[in-house]
Amino acid sequence: MGEIQNIVILTGAGVSAESGIDTFRDAGGLWEQHRVEDVATPEGFARDPDLVLRFYDMRRAAIQAKQPNAAHHALARLDAEWPGELLIVTQNIDDLHERAGAKRLIHMHGEHLNAWCTGCDTRSPWTAPLIDRPACPACGVHGHLRPDVVWFGEMPYRMEEIYRAINRADLFVSIGTSGAVYPAAGFVREARASGARTLELNMEPSQGNHWFDEARQGAATWLVPEWVEEMLGG
């Protein structure tokens, strides 16, 4: 690859799959077991808050038992050692990138281990269940805490920063995402428009596969360490 200074990496559920966290659209994935409309929309939450809170309580508990995998560790190493600009934009709400040591990271779909008080608008670190309507750590009011997760129809977080980074990127790499959900699925086209090279690392060709200059198929724990070695001249 030509002179590469600035890298943007988009990750999706495929990066956490080998840590034992279900993806959404693979066989047996989360959206096969639950209707998106019921558990991942503001309307679903308004209709049946207990169903939604239990869904996220179960997933919040599950991810705390999981460990980062070789793909998370390789990305954290690249983050630590890459001399140019680097940003990991994750669609995942688990904290495995952080636990592997990643620093330059944005959770565009929110974070499992945060709770958002719709009363005082404060986001607080949160690892416990929400079903029993605990008090907000900031304002003390019960019953206003919801998962700090971006639901369908809601605006993803820190999009300005993300587009600024993409517009400066020389290389855009998409890892473990199906390219089914916007705006993340459109990032590759933004990157191409700003002249970046584009690479997809995924178990199978994503829906946006044809937009990538290069695509490699395989497991993230195999493809990502190999790619990071290439980038660091290992």
Q: Which residues would be at the binding site for ligand APR (CB under 6 A)?
A: 12-14, 17-18, 23-26, 29, 91, 109, 176-178, 180-181, 202-204, 206, 219-220
Identify the CA nearest to 229 among candidates 106, 41, 73, 45.
73
- Are 212 and 188 contacting, i.e. CB atoms less than 8 angstroms apart? yes
Half-sphere exposure of 218 (CA within 13 A, CB side): 11
Pull the structure tokens for residue 174: 């998409």
Determine whether 107 is an active site residue.
Answer: no
Give the nearest distance from C-beta 29 to ligand APR in angstroms. Answer: 5
Q: Which are the contacts of 56, defined by CB distance < 8 A and separation ≥ 6?
A: 39, 112, 130, 147, 149
Decide whether 109 or 146 has the Cβ nearer to ligand APR: 109
Decide whether 114 or 178 has the Cβ nearer to ligand APR: 178
* Residue in the shown chain whose Cβ atom is closest to ligand APR: 14
Give the nearest distance from C-beta 164 to ligand APR in angstroms. Answer: 21
Burial of 73 (0-12, 13-18, 19+ CB in 10 A): buried
Give the nearest distance from C-beta 115 to ligand APR in angstroms. Answer: 18
Decide whether 140 or 183 has the Cβ nearer to ligand APR: 183
Decide whether 44 or 176 has the Cβ nearer to ligand APR: 176
Catalytically annotated residue among 97, 107, 109, 112: 109
Give the nearest distance from C-beta 197 to ligand APR in angstroms. Answer: 20
Catalytic residues: 109
